Amino acid sequence: MSKMISDSQRVPVQTLSAVPAGRRVFDDVSVLGVVAAAVIVAVYGATYLNTWQWLYSAWTTSPDHSHGLLVPVFAVVLIWMRRNMRPFAERSTSALSLSIGVALIVSGFALKWVGIYCRVITLEAVSILPGLAGIVICCGGWRAARIAWPSLLFLAFMIPLPHVIGVQLGGSLQHVATTGSTYLMQLLGLPAVAEGNVIYLSESTLGVAEACSGIRMLMSFFALTTALCFLIDRSFWEKCLVWLSAPVIAIVSNVLRIVATGLAYEFGSAKLADLIFHDLAGWLMMPVGLGLLWLEFFVLSRLVPTVESQDLSLALRRVPTSRNAVHSRSRA
């Protein structure tokens, strides 16, 4: 009775991301290798000193790119969280990995030269990514590459959008926010009419400026959903669905902000509307977006069960009932 499930009937437990007992990936790294990697990263970072200064200035002066300050921090945290993953193979470095790493470093410097020649500093910032990937592969091989690739991809969010793309995207989001807010206010019974990016109410006028386009919320929420997709244990298509829902949630949050301001103008005072629009809405947009994201996860959890629940249900189906167990013992 104590062994109710045979060995052939047991549900296999997936431990692909676990490391064998007594051994970790970082245990194979020598002190000399760590020092060499630190020197290489320091020299590589010094060559990009002007680029890092430009990135820091963009993070601290532009509200649309303020999330960039947290991107490198989360990239390091993500590497630390994935440090115990089991590698592909036993060998960490090879001639192929060294060749690919050197090629990535050279391509990074080539892209940096193109950015300097064309006077496009965004290209110089983008060239940091292949160089870092090459350093990781050269110093740690495929083991380090497997651990660090999500962080390397996530670092792309620290790079500001080019000015031309930012202006075009901001204008499109501005039009969508104005149209969506007008329709929603009309559904709520408000006499709202949109003309360009201006919404005319019964006794006031609400202008959706470029700063209210929602591009800041869009970039921040794209970074947040990407981080969650790296952390959550869901299927690939569910992660893609969550990631693609980021712009929808950002637009909905911005529309709700504008509608709340319109309601305050109609049923409150101009002082209350300014307080909601300029002060409270900036703090509440992210919690509203997180609430919508939680609602999406809740619906997905009800529609698609997780792998653990499927394994548990399969195991319960294979467990014989007490009556069947007694019957099998009596037959024996």
Residue 182 shares a structural domain with residue 152: no
CA distance 38 to 28: 17
Domain edge (last residue) among 160, 175, 202: 160
Model pLDDT, residue 323? 45
Residue 78 shares a structural domain with residue 154: yes
Residue 151 shares a structural domain with residue 169: no
Residue 225 shares a structural domain with residue 152: no
Spell out the residues 6+ positions from residue 301 whose beta carbon is closer than 8 angstroms to its own.
Answer: none
pTM comes to 0.68
Model pLDDT, residue 329? 45
Model pLDDT, residue 114? 92
Domain-embedded: residue 223: yes
Residue 173 shares a structural domain with residue 302: yes
Residue 104 shares a structural domain with residue 169: no
Domain-embedded: residue 320: no
Which single residue is written with the structure tokens 């926010």? 177
Domain edge (last residue) among 94, 129, 160: 160
Total count of domains within the chain: 2
Q: For the chain, which residues score pLDDT lower than 50?
A: 1-28, 87-91, 307-332
pLDDT digit string, tens, across residues 26-57: 444 556 656 766 777 777 778 888 898 999 99
Domain-embedded: residue 319: no
Model pLDDT, residue 26? 46
Domain edge (last residue) among 129, 160, 191: 160
Residue 245 shares a structural domain with residue 156: no
How many other β-carbons are positioned within 10 Å of the β-carbon of residue 171? 14
Residue 188 shares a structural domain with residue 137: no
Residue 151 shares a structural domain with residue 248: no
Domain-embedded: residue 9: no
Spell out the residues 6+ positions from residue 174 whose beta carbon is closer than 8 angstroms to its own.
Answer: 197, 208, 209, 210, 212, 213
Domain-embedded: residue 5: no
Question: Domain containing 193: what range?
Answer: 164-314
Residue 116 shares a structural domain with residue 144: yes
Residue 205 shares a structural domain with residue 76: no
Return the structure tokens found at 317: 């189906």
Domain-embedded: residue 132: yes
Q: Answer yes or no: are the C-beta atoms of 288 and 248 closer than 8 Å.
A: no
Spell out the residues 6+ positions from residue 82 whose beta carbon is closer than 8 angstroms to its own.
Answer: 147, 148, 150
Q: Give the DSSP letter string of 99-129.
A: HHHHHHHHHHHHHHHHHHHHT-HHHHHHTHH
Residue 131 shares a structural domain with residue 183: no
Model pLDDT, residue 276? 62
Domain-embedded: residue 18: no
pLDDT digit string, tens, across residues 117-138: 888 888 999 999 998 998 888 8
Domain-embedded: residue 258: yes
